[in-house]
A = this chain, B = another copy of it.
Amino acid sequence: MRVLGVDPGLTRCGVGVVDSLPGRRAQLVSVGVIRSDPAASVDLRLLTVARELDEWLDAHVPDVVAVERVFAQHNVGTVMGTAQVAGLAMVAAARRGVPVALHTPSEVKAAVTGSGRAGKEQVQRMVQSLLGLAEPPRPADAADALALAITHLWRPAGALQGGERNELTPAQRAWAAAEQAARRAPARAPARAPRRASR
């Protein structure tokens, strides 16, 4: 299973792709940060992020997109942009028939460090260790995106989605899996297919 983790943000949006390996191990595929210019208008900033999220999805064809669940009560100054970028990630996944999972920051910290109140540095160190990286992923947004992806891989059975309102029905899951399988099959043959060949 391949998971794209998205730590949403308008100025910096962390993105990380992780594959599951046998024996509860995970492997880094790609990690990065999508940035938008704080001096630009919000609509153009959101467009920049939306286009790059599209590119990440088309380049890596994840089985699931795991997005950090955004709460209204946190960081009033930036929460609107964060919520909007989370929404763009969800729509980008849904357009491609890729299921979306939401995980809270506490769930992510607990999954990778054992404590729901771990600090940023502890998350970075654990992500480094879990993925066998030479250095901790930086900035923190990149590490958080990888931590989200790992959290999703290691979620308890039955917890595909982070909350009751986001549970997929069996029909939705089957549909998504079938569409995913059909979409991935032809893209696997060429070693380096054009970016949008799988759509």
- A contacts, CB < 8 Å to B: 41-44, 46-47, 50, 70-73, 76, 79-80, 83-88, 90-91, 93-95, 99-100, 102, 161, 165-168, 172
Contacts and interface: CB of A to CB of B under 8 A. Distances in A.
A90 B168 contact: no
Contact of A72 (B43, B47, B72, B94): B72
Nearest to A94: B47
A73 B76 CA distance: 7
This chain: how many copies in the complex?
Answer: 2
A99 to B, nearest CB: 8
Contacts of A94: 43-44, 46-47
A47 to B, nearest CB: 4
B87 A168 contact: no
A169 to B, nearest CB: 8
Given A47-B95, A79-B72, A42 B84 contact: no
B41 A167 contact: yes
